[in-house]
């Protein structure tokens, strides 16, 4: 008679599954709460009957016993192993069904003490799963209730073959690796470990996507599990989200989170095409849209205030991929829902959720991990020119330096009245980025200021003078800084150095 060891925290479907196993002639052994549930419905033995040893320490020790692990791990084709288990009277365990204590679920509960969290670290479960997965040549391991139906079908039809057992073993190892990574992240974050000697990140499959960055690339969205204050969002309308939509949404939202006042950021291919702030969200939207309405065709708008009827009517007039906001006026939502393919996303906690503490980028041979760029202008910022910016210029300079943080390096933005007039981004030469920003803002230069994400040289100052730009902001830090300051003084240009750089590669 074959034996199945059943020990699950998530008991959905387990009674029906065990009835099916019993019908197939399996002997069932179980533990704790699972045993108490099963014994009401099917014939089942308690693990302590098999081990001759009671569960102790409030259930912390129950399956950690040689009769359990030897029954799972012994190699059936080994004469030595067979002799050993026979001499010791150890029965084989041919099927292990296990899922783990809800560390993840408890992690997401508010007000949970460290003691309660630690108590939900499963020890015996991962040991059983790993043992069964290691010995997949002889043992089938099941960790997902979604597999119960197929397992029973394969057992009935005699298709519990080596290939299937190996697939289930691989799934089991992914499960325990994920579980351990979650625990590792919890302690590393709790103790604020900056650069741990081993880095484990826990993600869970959210959804498979139609395709990746291009149609020939397979892709999926994996959810980040361990987050202290995660983003809460829901799609209200429109087509299924694509790979590019996810990346665009992330960048649009993190850009608009730079502002506390009503703000709108319109993006295209992960770069801003228009940024505006205002007294009202309508004013902010009109400024962002006016920056480059042509490029915003097929783009994304992120707003940090509810979408109004006015905004919805403008968005309805051209093709848009996504609009994302903390809420929508009822009439505005009705207007947007007329656009069959427009993806309408609501994010109630857009302004309050936490951006990641670290960012990860794949490189040759590994990944790079760095702190998220959340540096703000500090008291180190200084006016280095003889001419001081006016109050209005300084407001626009500060807005501009937030805006240029969103732009791919080398980047520059031309701004006025809390709006981007021109954006130059991703150029290999800074003067080209400045020229782009100035050309896009052609005819609107009077009173405008320029922000750059990195230091510039005298050739940039010459461009500012040529186009009548009277104030600029940049990090500084070049050996050419004295020459640049001298030239700004010669032309009467106010120059602010932040001593903070915002490259985005």
Q: What is the mean predicted confidence (pLDDT) over 100-105?
A: 80
* Cα 31 from chain centroid (whole Å): 37
Cα separations (Å) of 265 from 62, 299, 408, 419? Answer: 57, 10, 15, 10
Range of weakest confidence among 51-65, 102-116, 443-457: 51-65
Q: What is the reported pLDDT for 176?
A: 94
Q: What is the reported pLDDT for 357?
A: 82
Listed residue (377, 491, 501) closest to 430, CA to CA? 501
Q: Which residues contact 440 (CB under 8 A, 6 or more apart)?
A: 291, 292, 414, 421, 422, 423, 424
Q: Within 13 Å and on the Cβ side, how many CA atoms surround 309?
A: 2
pLDDT at 505 over 80: no
The 3-state DSSP class for residue 452 equals strand
**85 confidence band (pLDDT: 50, 70, 90):** confident
Mark whether 45 is an active-site residue.
no
Share above pLDDT 90 across residues of the chain, in percent, rounded to a whole number: 60
* Tens of pLDDT, residues 10-49: 899 999 999 999 999 999 999 888 989 999 999 999 888 7
Mark whether 269 is an active-site residue.
yes
Q: Which residues contact 95 (CB under 8 A, 6 or more apart)?
A: 2, 3, 4, 5, 21, 26, 139, 140, 141, 142
Q: What is the mean predicted confidence (pLDDT) over 144-155?
A: 95
Q: What is the reported pLDDT for 355?
A: 87
Q: Which residues contact 298 (CB under 8 A, 6 or more apart)?
A: 268, 319, 320, 321
Q: How many CB atoms lie within 10 A of CB 284?
A: 27
Per-residue tokens: 364:
């040759």
Q: What is the mean predicted confidence (pLDDT) over 377-381?
A: 76
**What is the residue-averaged pLDDT of the chain?**
90
Catalytic: which of 11, 39, 171, 269?
A: 269
Range of weakest confidence among 97-106, 169-178, 283-292: 97-106
Phi, psi of 500 (to 5 degrees): -130, 130
Listed residue (501, 503, 484, 502) closest to 493, CA to CA? 484
Cα separations (Å) of 36 from 28, 229, 487? Answer: 13, 37, 84
* Tens of pLDDT, residues 183-224: 888 888 888 888 888 888 888 898 999 989 889 999 999 888
Cα separations (Å) of 239 from 236, 283, 322? Answer: 10, 29, 10
Q: Within 13 Å and on the Cβ side, how many CA atoms surround 365?
A: 0
- Give CA–CA dist 332/315, Å, rounded: 10
- Contact criterion met (CB below 8 Å) for 71 and 104: no
Cα separations (Å) of 208 from 145, 166, 241, 345, 358? Answer: 20, 23, 10, 19, 25
**pTM score:** 0.83
Q: What is the reported pLDDT for 362?
A: 85
- Contact criterion met (CB below 8 Å) for 110 and 185: no
Q: Please, what's the b/e burial string for 304-317 (b: 16 or more CB within 10 A of its CB; e: otherwise)?
A: bbebbbebbebbee
Per-residue tokens: 283:
């004013």
DSSP string, 80-135: HHHHHHHHHTPPP--EEEEE---HHHHHTSTT--HHHHHHT--SHHHHHHHHHHHT
Catalytic: which of 65, 81, 134, 224?
A: 134
- Give CA–CA dist 252/161, Å, rounded: 49
Q: Is 415 exposed, middle or buried (0-12, 13-18, 19+ CB in 10 A)?
A: buried
Q: What is the reported pLDDT for 228?
A: 75
Q: What is the reported pLDDT for 475?
A: 92
pLDDT at 61 over 80: no
């Amino acid at each position: 008679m074959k034996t199945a060891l059943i020990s699950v925290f998530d008991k959905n479907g387990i009674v029906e599954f065990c009835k099916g196993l019993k019908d197939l002639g399996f002997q069932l052994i179980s533990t704790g709460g699972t045993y108490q549930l099963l014994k009401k419905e099917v014939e089942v033995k308690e693990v302590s009957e098999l081990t001759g040893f009671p569960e102790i320490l409030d259930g912390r020790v129950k399956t950690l016993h040689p009769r359990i692990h030897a029954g799972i791990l012994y190699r059936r084709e080994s004469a030595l192993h067979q002799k050993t288990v026979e001499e010791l009277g150890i029965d084989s365990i041919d099927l292990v069904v296990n899922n783990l204590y809800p560390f993840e679920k408890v992690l997401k509960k508010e007000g949970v003490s460290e003691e309660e969290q630690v108590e939900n670290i499963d020890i015996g479960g991962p040991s059983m799963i790993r043992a069964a997965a290691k010995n997949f040549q002889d043992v089938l391991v099941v960790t997902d209730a979604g597999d119960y139906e197929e397992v029973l079908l394969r057992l009935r039809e005699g298709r519990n073959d080596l290939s299937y057992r190996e697939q289930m073993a691989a799934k089991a190892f992914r499960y325990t690796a994920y579980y351990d990574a979650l625990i590792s992240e919890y302690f590393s974050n709790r103790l604020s470990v900056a650069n741990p000697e081993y880095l484990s990140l826990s993600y869970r499959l959210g959804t498979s996507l139609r395709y990746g960055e291009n149609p020939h690339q397979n892709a999926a969205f994996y959810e980040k599990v361990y987050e202290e204050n995660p983003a809460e969002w829901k799609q209200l309308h429109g087509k299924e989200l694509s790979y590019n939509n996810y990346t665009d949404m992330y960048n649009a939202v993190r850009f608009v989170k730079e502002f506390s006042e009503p703000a709108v950021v319109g993006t295209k291919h992960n770069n801003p095409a228009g940024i505006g702030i205002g007294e009202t969200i309508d004013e902010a939207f009109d400024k962002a849209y006016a920056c480059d309405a042509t490029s915003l065709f097929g783009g994304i708008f992120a707003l940090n205030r509810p979408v109004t009827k006015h905004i919805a009517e403008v968005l309805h007039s051209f093709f848009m991929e996504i609009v994302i906001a903390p809420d929508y006026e009822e009439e505005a939502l009705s207007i947007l829902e007329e656009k069959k393919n427009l993806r309408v996303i609501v994010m109630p906690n857009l302004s309050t959720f936490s951006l990641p503490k670290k960012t990860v980028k794949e490189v040759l041979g590994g990944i790079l991990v760095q702190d998220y760029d959340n540096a703000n202008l500090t008291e180190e910022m200084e006016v280095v020119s003889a001419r001081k910016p006016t109050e209005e210029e300084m407001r626009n300079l500060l807005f501009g330096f937030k805006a240029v943080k969103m732009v791919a390096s080398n980047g520059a933005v031309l701004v006025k009245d809390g709006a981007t007039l021109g954006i130059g981004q991703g150029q290999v030469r800074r003067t080209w980025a400045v020229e782009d920003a100035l050309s896009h803002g052609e005819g609107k230069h009077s009173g405008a200021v320029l922000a750059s994400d990195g230091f510039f040289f005298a050739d940039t100052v010459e461009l500012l003078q040529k186009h009548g730009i009277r104030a600029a902001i940049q990090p500084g830090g070049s050996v050419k800084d004295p020459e640049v300051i001298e030239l700004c003084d010669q032309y009467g240009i106010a120059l602010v150095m932040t001593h903070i750089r915002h490259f985005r590669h």
